[in-house]
Amino acid sequence: MSFFKKTLASFGVGSARVDAVLKQDVVYPGQTVAVDIHTYGGATTQSIDNIYLKLCCRYRAERINQDGRKVEGSKVAQTYVLDKWSLPHAFEIEPHQDKVFSAELQVPWNTPITLGDSKVWLETQLDIAQALDPKDTDLLTVRPHPLEDGIFSALEAAGLRIRQVECEAVDGFELPFVQEFEFVPVHGEYHGRWRELEIVTYRTEHALKIWFEVDRHKKGMGGMLSSFIGSNKLKRELILQHDETPAQAGRKVLAFLQEST
């Protein structure tokens, strides 16, 4: 192979490419998902030191200034790696050759649902010595756990609509963030009574824990985690077992909110 082609490949021109293909259209928290990683040879033979596959998501955290203090009210996007995989050996790929490797990734129970600003993606990278490392990024669709789906459906039937979904940094959980769902009443019995309802869920293999916060007035909560204490806010929590049906979960949440607020 000519010196010219090798030089171009080192700058990414005519280099090997990588493409990760998920074997299902959508994923659910708690699943193990299979991925096929296609590596396509370029214009010259190249040595691939490794393949890195990462399942990533985004959350917001308060900005830290130079002296290590949090800047209140200023938040920046952070990337968190939910799970990762790497090839246990190096290999060579010939020009225009297609090699396929199989991988599995665990989707943690508290992987964000891809609603609103919440993003989950696969990031795949080839590690090529003395060359630009080719990358591939694929957005994923993460659907809610059936219990959450039942709860959201019940809230919608009661006249509430999701207005905002965000992942916010927090301490003391399995992941460095939780996902907040903000609902507003647009009709029904809560219209005129509540300004908004915020929900945070935390899933385990056996149960779903839910925190509720209701704002009855018009000031707005500004995020559950940043305003846990306040005279206008009611905080409640409920635990549902995973052996309950989605319809049962929805009914329990509505009854709980009715009793608590």
CATH of region 3-139: 2.60.40.640
Q: Tell me the mean pLDDT in the region 187-214.
A: 89
pTM: 0.82
Domain boundaries, the chain: 3-139, 146-260
**pLDDT tens digits, residue range 152-185?**
999 999 999 999 999 998 887 888 999 999 999 9
Please state, as a whole number, how many other Cβ atoms lie within 10 Å of the Cβ of residue 41. Answer: 20
Question: Nearest Cα to 10, choosing from 130, 136, 126?
Answer: 130
CA distances from 75 to 171, 175, 207, 213 (A): 16, 18, 31, 22
Q: What is the mean pLDDT of residues 238-261?
A: 91
pLDDT tens string 57-67: 999 987 766 66
**pLDDT beyond 90 at 134:** no
Give the per-residue pLDDT at 232.
47
| Distance set, CA 5 to CA 15, 31, 47, 176, 257 (Å) | 9, 43, 15, 45, 67
